[in-house]
Structure 1
Amino acid sequence: MIRLVAGLLVAAATLVLPAVLDDSALAVYILLGLAAMVTVGVSLLMGYAGQVSLGQGAFYAIGAYTAALLALNGVPPLAGLVAAPVVAALSALVIGVPLLRLRGHHLAFATLAMQLILLSLAGQLEITGGDIGLQAIPQFSVGSFEAGGASAYAYLTWAGLALVMLVTRNVIISRPGRALRALATSETAAASSGIPVGRYKLVVFALSAAFAGLAGGIYCFYTGYVAPGSFPVLISIQYIVMAVVGGLGTIWGAVVGATAITLLVQALNSLAALPGMPTYAPSVLSYAVYALVLILVVLFLPHGLLPAVTKRAGGADPPAHRPGRTRPPPRWPRSGRASRD
């Protein structure tokens, strides 16, 4: 009952806020929703499948460039937005075949290198506009309706986030979701149980990439401009921080983490814009605060903000699954005879 009431309150606030926020606050609101969309995929990938990726910003960029190129070449914006997650997922399937043979920090560094290579190519290819990028991207439209204001993009963003959360929930409670949890606990044990480990890792990698691609597609229509500078390496680290702070392995934790970190980043940007601050202040402050937040969360809130709050409030316990956590050994019968089971 409490969860239902909380969900209704969040839904009501989501619908009301675009009508009452000014343009600057709406921009933060939209970017928050886009970040939450990507972070849900990161939480699914890391919290349930146990795969670490520092390259989600690459799939965010792939979705944005896909939608932008199609729209600039006369394709309806709706078709471009649909194509964005599809192309991002297909790219993840191709890239994931060699990369997902790696594990742990090797996989993390490989995905980070993938983003660096992608940004380098986008800055040199003529089709992507080079370092200048793609400009004058048409507004998102469906038939005669055109999203001309920020409030329309806010509704579009949070509708996309609702879709992403619904898909993730259905995956988690399904049989493949249970297989993912077993895979994260021990790939060897999962394989011995008949779970196709390689296939499941590749599918969840592609699904998280599709979420990032959808967010990138909405982003390109909202800003009307994409360039390699729109997708710095720091953005992938930011998604990891959001997932960890909110609570890995929880859907709403990704939204909580995205909200906390986005508001923190906005505060840091305001601080860095004060008179007398050096030009490198925003990046230095961001890296320093990300490191500090991660250390504090790992030390004092190892499950993340949302599980800690719900446990303190007497709600659900923190997620039972964490990458690397094993179940207790089974209790064998005390007698020497075999169990009837």
Structure 2
Amino acid sequence: MNRATLAALAVVTLTLPPLLPDRHLATYVLLGLAATVTAGVSLLMGYAGQVTLGQAAFYAIGGYAAGLLTVHGAPTVAGLLAAPLVAAGAAVLLGAPLLRLRGHHLAFATLALQLILLSLLGRGDWAGGAIGLQGIPQLPVGGDLGYAYLVWTVVAVVLLVSHNIVDSRVGRGLRAVATSETAAAASGVAVGRYRLAVFALSAAFAGLAGGIYAFYLGYLAPGSFPVLLSIEFVVMAVVGGLGTTTGPLVGATVIVLLVQALNTLGTQPGMPGYAPGVLSYAVYGLLLVATVLYLPRGIVPTLTRRPPGGTS
């Protein structure tokens, strides 16, 4: 991620929000949240070589942590700070046993983790149950425009952190782990510690985004974090380019805008109520197939012609 890219992102971030109508500004905020979560997925899958199908679980943990704290009287800033910490703490506790698994076994385990969490949230009166957690206060940032600047500041920080990690000794260790855990361990890389650290960091990114999401909507329910959302984050990371730091931003932009277009199409007069969901599943499948066939490394590596594991 060179200085020109950073400068371009900064210019777009500063100039675009005031020009957008309210409904597009909301999409811009949600796009930034998706990019934040996807940055963690890209680190986990692209550099540590760990497959996850449950990243929305940590998105939910961060959101509910922030929401519950503030509903019970804590300042909103405290709730926002707690969101990534609680999510990272949960990742450390759960990751210790989960990360003993590999490949599709780990993917299914993370998927099961999300299903269990959704069940607990739906049945727990402490979390509002199936009705949801209501009355979450707003952050004092000045409405949707303020949220847009806050979210994209977070995106910039997350991408910068990801870039610095990838460019460091830790990043080289992660790439070694993804290539061969046996060879990495023989070279002195603390494989278990590295895997757990990146798992916790990716959860912290998701938790922070979840905290902002809770304050932005003022309401959370288990249905806000479906399994499809975790799949969506994976598709964003793959389409944008695993093993890159700007890939999550590109992938999130493509998928979020596409989902908005599909929702608009699916809600047209005469379309059945299940049309948006069916269209989304179909397009995710087609995108993955097209990416594997024609852009096997994703959009960013293909356009920049950099090898996998680069820092675009």
- Give the shorter-chain TM-score range: over 0.9
User: Cα distance, 1:320 vs. partner?
Assistant: 4.7
Matches within 5 A, 1:41-52: 41-52=40-51
Q: Within 2, Cα distance between the matches of 1:298 and 1:158?
A: 30
Match of 1:77 in 2: 76
What is the TM-score with the length of structure 2 in the denominator? 0.97
Aligned residues: 310
Question: 1:164 aligned to 158, 161, 166, which one?
Answer: 158
Matched, 1:182 2:152: no
CA RMSD, Structure 1 to Structure 2 (Å): 1.1
User: Cα distance, 1:245 vs. partner?
Assistant: 0.2
Q: Within 2, Cα distance between the matches of 1:320 and 1:175?
A: 14
Q: Within 2, Cα distance between the matches of 1:176 and 1:85?
A: 21
Matched, 1:318 2:307: yes
Partner of 1:251, secondary structure, is coil
List runs of 5+ in structure 2 lacking aligned partners.
Answer: none
Identity %: 65
Question: 1:296 aligned to 287, 290, 299, which one?
Answer: 290
Matches within 5 A, 1:23-102: 23-102=22-101
Q: Within 1, Cα distance between the matches of 2:6 and 2:186?
A: 39
Q: Within 2, Cα distance between the matches of 1:119 and 1:300?
A: 36
What is the TM-score with the length of structure 1 in the denominator? 0.89
The runs of at least 4 aligned residues of structure 1 exceeding 6 Å deviation read: none
Cα deviation digits, residues 69-90 of structure 1 (max 9, x gap): 1111111111110100000000
Question: 2:192 aligned to 190, 198, 201, which one?
Answer: 198
User: Cα distance, 1:318 vs. partner?
Assistant: 3.4
Q: Is the 8 A contact 2:244 2:309 kept in 1?
A: no
Match of 1:333 in 2: none
List runs of 5+ in structure 1 lacking aligned partners.
Answer: 141-145, 312-316, 322-341
1:320/1:92 CA distance change after superposition, 3 Å? closer
Q: Is the 8 A contact 1:44 1:168 kept in 2?
A: yes
Q: Within 2, Cα distance between the matches of 1:71 and 1:31?
A: 21
Q: Is the 8 A contact 2:48 2:178 kept in 1?
A: yes
Cα deviation digits, residues 226-250 of structure 1 (max 9, x gap): 0101000000000000000000011
Cα deviation digits, residues 288-327 of structure 1 (max 9, x gap): 100000000000001111121223xxxxx23357xxxxxx
Greater helix share, structure number: 2
Larger Rg: 1
Counterpart AA for 1:231: F
Q: Is the 8 A contact 1:139 1:148 kept in 2?
A: no
Partner of 1:117, secondary structure, is helix
1:243/1:74 CA distance change after superposition, 3 Å? same
Matches within 5 A, 1:1-341: 3-140=2-139, 146-311=140-305, 317-320=306-309
